């Protein structure tokens, strides 16, 4: 069945809303469950498309997975396979972290090159190079990557770029590998710390996540664990941008405000008043948002590439000219074209977007082309005059469990229609 999101813009958002668990933390944590034989209980796993694909991968490997609300119970006892089929791998790029996890458990793995949202080329050279440095032998054959980990041992690894996925893959592979592994220039994203915390709960010996160096002392065995996944900082940013663009006043609950520093500082620069407590952030938008000097996407703690589209939509209605530079992924300005159809004045030149703020956007039929770009179109719809129809919300479902319901709770006139 096809569906669309319909938004009648113009209502400033108001009220409070909870944020669900972080997609980018759940995925590697679910991959990590294969490192032990036992029954894991993972709380705060939102009902997302990307989570259900990951669950399908676990089931394909032979794990038994059941869901009770936002809790996943993962039983990894008994034999688990070495192989994930191409069809599943193509659906989700981050599935590459299963390579390190399966290799650590079975000493062998066979997977195909991963897929996911189309955001330009998504190489995995850093993953392969690092696993080779750990002593894995890796070859490609007929589109599959075939790994043998029988000779693996701790090593010193330097990443030439702080890749999130490569950092996680090495952590997963190294925690059951004899000897000490030291990884330099790792990604510092909070989701890496969440993975470290989960692995340590399983009995791993990992330290340093959140800094640029991680040390892993290999252990012989890991055990099943119970864990609560961290909140999703990009979902939080989505609600905040929606409130800012619509001239609203909201409180976002169940978040870690520190994880939002880079996005909150841009929201402040645009004229929003921000307050925060231990696990909440509130935002009060000005009558008209101000343009910001420049946003450049960077690895954490810099401005997240995943929030870039959201700010593109929000700044489309700010007073003045804003510049956005995308340094992490190519092809991440896809929503710009759709926003222009709604009356935005945005010029994209390679990795730079120049956003000349307009007073009002006008409702139009637009099409989501990737996850965050889709959410950006919903944000645009919230502040546009008239009705906006967002086609292909299936992209949004990859990372938002209830975007429509959350905005509805905040007073937006929004609904999803199936046809
Ligand atoms: C993760 C996030 C994604 C986020 C991204 C950057 C998950 C499930 N996804 O993706 O939402 O946008 O971090 O914060 O956590 N690269 C290479 N070679 C490699 C690996 C990466 O050149 O072997 C490049 C990529 O092409 C990209 C950059 O490094 O330009 C960042 O990629 P990476 O940090 O690995 O992102 P992901 O882990 O794929």
pLDDT of residue 117: 46
**Structure tokens given for 411:** 């007073």
pLDDT tens by residue, the chain, 419 residues = 789 999 999 999 999 999 999 999 999 999 999 999 999 999 999 999 999 999 999 999 999 999 999 999 999 999 999 999 888 888 888 889 999 999 999 999 998 876 544 445 568 889 999 999 999 999 988 878 899 999 999 999 999 999 999 999 999 999 999 999 999 999 999 999 999 999 999 999 999 999 999 999 999 999 999 999 999 999 999 999 999 999 999 999 999 999 999 999 999 999 999 999 999 999 999 999 999 999 999 999 999 999 999 999 999 999 999 999 999 998 889 999 999 999 999 999 999 999 999 999 999 999 999 999 999 999 999 999 999 999 999 999 999 999 999 999 999 999 999 98
pLDDT of residue 119: 45
* Residue from 307, 328, 334, 370 to probe ligand 1 pocket by mutation (most atoms less than 8 Å from CB): 328
Mapped onto helix, strand or coil, the DSSP state of residue 240 is: helix
**For the chain, where do the domains classified as CATH 3.65.10.10 start and end?**
3-20+231-418, 23-228
pLDDT of residue 121: 56
- What is the domain class of 23-228 according to CATH? alpha beta
* Residue from 51, 96, 119, 163 to probe ligand 1 pocket by mutation (most atoms less than 8 Å from CB): 163
The Cα angle at residue 114 between residues 162 and 212, in degrees rounded to 5? 10
Ligand 1 atom closest to the CA of 126, numbered from 1? 23
Return the active site residues: 117
Helix axes 305-315, 371-383, angle to 10 degrees: 20
339: closest CA among 331, 328, 347, 329?
A: 347
**Structure tokens given for 367:** 């099409």
**Structure tokens given for 47:** 């009902």
Count the alpha carbons within 13 Å of 234 in the hemisphere toward its beta carbon.
26
How far is C-alpha 117 from the geometric centre of its chain's CA atoms?
11
Residues with CB under 6 A from ligand 1: 24, 27, 93-94, 122-127, 161, 163-166, 187, 191, 305-306, 328-329
- Bridge-based pairing state of the strands 321-325 and 280-284: unpaired
pLDDT of residue 135: 97
pLDDT of residue 171: 98
Q: Torsions phi, psi of 163, nearest 5?
A: -70, 130
Dist. CA 238 → ligand 1 center (Å): 20
Ligand 1 atom closest to the CA of 330, numbered from 1? 30
Looking at domain 3-20+231-418, its CATH superfamily turns out to be Enolpyruvate transferase domain (3.65.10.10)
């Amino acid at each position: 069945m096809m569906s669309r999101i319909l938004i009648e813009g113009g209502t400033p958002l108001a009220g409070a809303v909870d944020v669900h668990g972080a997609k980018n933390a759940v995925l590697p944590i679910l991959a990590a469950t294969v490192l032990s034989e036992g029954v894991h209980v993972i709380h705060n796993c939102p009902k997302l498309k990307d989570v259900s694909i990951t669950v399908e991968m676990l089931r394909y490997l032979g794990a038994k997975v059941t869901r009770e609300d936002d809790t996943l119970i993962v039983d990894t006892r008994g034999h688990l396979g070495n192989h994930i089929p191409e069809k599943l791998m193509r659906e989700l790029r981050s599935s590459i972290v299963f390579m390190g996890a399966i290799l650590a458990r079975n000493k062998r793995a066979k997977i195909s090159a991963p897929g996911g949202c189309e955001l330009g080329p998504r190489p995995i050279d850093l993953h392969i190079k690092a696993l080779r440095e750990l002593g894995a032998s890796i070859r490609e054959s007929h589109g599959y990557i075939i790994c043998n980990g029988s000779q693996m041992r701790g090593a010193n690894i330097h990443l030439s770029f702080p890749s999130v996925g490569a950092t996680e893959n090495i952590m997963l592979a190294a925690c059951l590998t004899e000897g000490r592994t030291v990884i330099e220039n790792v990604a510092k994203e909070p989701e890496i710390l969440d993975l470290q915390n989960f692995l340590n709960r399983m009995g791993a010996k990992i330290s340093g996540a959140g800094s640029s160096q991680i040390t892993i002392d290999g252990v012989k065995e890991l055990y099943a664990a119970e864990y609560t996944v961290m909140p999703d900082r990009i979902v939080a940013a989505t609600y905040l941008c929606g409130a800012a663009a619509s001239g609203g006043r909201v409180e976002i609950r169940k978040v870690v405000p520190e994880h939002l520093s880079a996005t909150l500082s841009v929201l402040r620069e645009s004229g929003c008043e921000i307050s925060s407590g231990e696990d909440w952030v509130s935002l009060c938008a000005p009558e008209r948002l101000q343009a910001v000097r420049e946003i450049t996407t960077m690895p954490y703690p810099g401005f997240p590439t995943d929030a870039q589209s959201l700010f593109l939509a929000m700044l489309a209605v700010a007073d003045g000219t804003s510049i956005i530079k995308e340094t992490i992924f190519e092809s991440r300005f896809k929503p710009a074209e759709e926003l222009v159809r709604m009356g935005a004045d945005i010029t994209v030149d390679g990795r730079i977007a120049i956003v000349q703020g307009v007073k009002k956007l006008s409702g139009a039929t637009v099409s989501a082309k990737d996850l965050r770009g889709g959410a950006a179109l919903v944000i645009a719809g919230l502040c546009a005059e008239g009705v906006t129809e967002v086609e292909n919300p299936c992209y949004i479902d990859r990372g938002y469990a209830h975007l429509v319901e959350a905005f509805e709770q905040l007073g937006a006139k929004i609904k999803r229609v199936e046809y």
